[in-house]
């Protein structure tokens, strides 16, 4: 990236790629991670993590994959439009089943079960991470539920974590998915970041990217970013990245509120940041209207 040398960075700090190296230990993701790891250790079958677009579900999914790869054979399903047979086939490939055995969809479930039993006997647990689960067809979600039912004695043959937007909860409220809903034993809803969390988030990402200078984003700048991004990490990344690019283009070494305003104006989903002058006008009009109402109530008008 063109501004890396300018700011003394080793890599891009605000990339939209869900890189686990940039996982920041702030409260929403920390709690979600604790819920998942605790529930998995208890042997729960299906878990659910929901959150608005851009709140970091894919990053959390990737973090789990990197952290649990020694304990589990992790199968990540990141294509949300798989049919039930395509989902079984993807799972079979993750489990190391030969491609030639995928054609007969009536036998495939049995083949997968045999493979799961062999893995369990070898001391290997299987974890399925499903990203964008709200878009999976009903039949595919039902296939996951049936796989989660597979067990031998006290042990589940596989465990599933569903990551999805709030629409997933809406779908799970439908009658045809009630059996899946009843199988979800633990869930967590990711929230947006607070203003103080945003300041910490920005500083930590810069440090992870190799920045060692004075603070680039001061508290007032972070407040503007908070207002414009609504606390959504993806929007925070977009605004910070654009602000760094603008600053580099003008050969500046600090980020100002004016630069954030320009970045906001160039970002469609960001909320406009009102200028100080605009706020004075709003306050003045409010004071005038309030005075007129008091005069009218006292009969002076």
For domain 5-9+194-270, the CATH class is: mainly alpha
> What mean pLDDT do residues 27-35 have?
92
DSSP 8-state assignment for residue 20? G
* Highest-scoring range by mean pLDDT, 91-105, 146-160, 205-219: 205-219
Q: Do domains 5-9+194-270 and 27-189 have the same CATH topology?
A: no
The CATH number corresponding to 27-189 among 3.30.420.80, 3.40.50.150, 3.40.50.300, 3.40.50.1220 equals 3.40.50.300
Q: So what's the pLDDT on residue 2?
A: 82
Per-residue confidence band for 32, with pLDDT thresholds at 50, 70 and 90: very high
Residue 25 has pLDDT above 90, yes or no: no
Q: So what's the pLDDT on residue 273?
A: 62
Distance CA 157, CA 124 (A): 10
How confident is the model over 211-226, as pLDDT tens digits? 998 889 999 999 999 9
Domain ranges of the chain: 5-9+194-270, 27-189
Q: By C-alpha distance, which of 213, 214, 219, 224 is closest to 200?
A: 219
Q: Are 229 and 236 in contact (CB under 8 A)?
A: yes
How confident is the model over 120-158, as pLDDT tens digits? 999 999 999 999 999 999 999 999 999 998 888 778 899
Per-residue confidence band for 292, with pLDDT thresholds at 50, 70 and 90: low
* Helix (H/G/I), strand (E/B), else coil: 156: strand
Distance CA 150, CA 158 (A): 7
Q: So what's the pLDDT on residue 276?
A: 46
Q: So what's the pLDDT on residue 115?
A: 94
């Amino acid at each position: 990236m063109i501004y890396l040398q300018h700011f003394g960075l080793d890599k891009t700090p605000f990339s939209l790629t869900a890189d686990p190296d940039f996982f920041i230990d702030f409260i929403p993701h920390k709690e979600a991670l604790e819920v998942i790891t605790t529930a998995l250790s208890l042997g729960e079958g299906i878990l659910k993590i929901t959150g608005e677009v851009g709140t970091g579900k894919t990053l959390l999914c990737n973090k789990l994959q990197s952290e649990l790869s020694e304990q589990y054979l992790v199968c990540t399903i990141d294509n949300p439009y798989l049919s039930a047979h395509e989902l079984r086939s993807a799972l079979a490939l993750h489990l190391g089943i030969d491609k030639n055995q995928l054609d007969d969809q009536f036998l495939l479930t049995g083949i997968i079960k045999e493979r799961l039993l062999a893995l369990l006997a070898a001391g290997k647990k299987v974890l399925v991470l499903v990203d964008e689960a709200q878009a999976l067809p009903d039949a595919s979600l039902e296939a996951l539920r049936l796989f989660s039912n597979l067990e031998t004695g006290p042990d589940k043959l596989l465990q599933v974590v569903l990551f999805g937007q709030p629409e997933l909860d809406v779908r799970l409220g439908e009658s045809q998915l009630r059996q899946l809903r009843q199988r979800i034993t633990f869930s967590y809803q990711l929230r947006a970041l607070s203003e103080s969390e945003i300041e910490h988030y920005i500083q930590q990402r810069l440090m992870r990217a190799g920045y060692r200078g004075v603070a680039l984003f001061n508290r007032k700048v972070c407040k503007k970013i908070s207002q414009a991004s609504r606390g959504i990490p993806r929007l925070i990344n977009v605004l910070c990245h654009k602000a760094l690019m603008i600053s580099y283009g003008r050969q500046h070494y600090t980020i100002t509120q004016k630069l954030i305003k320009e970045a906001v104006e160039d970002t469609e989903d960001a909320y406009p940041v009102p200028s100080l002058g605009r706020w004075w006008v709003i306050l003045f009009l409010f004071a005038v209207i309030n005075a007129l109402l008091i005069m009218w109530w006292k009969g002076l008008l």
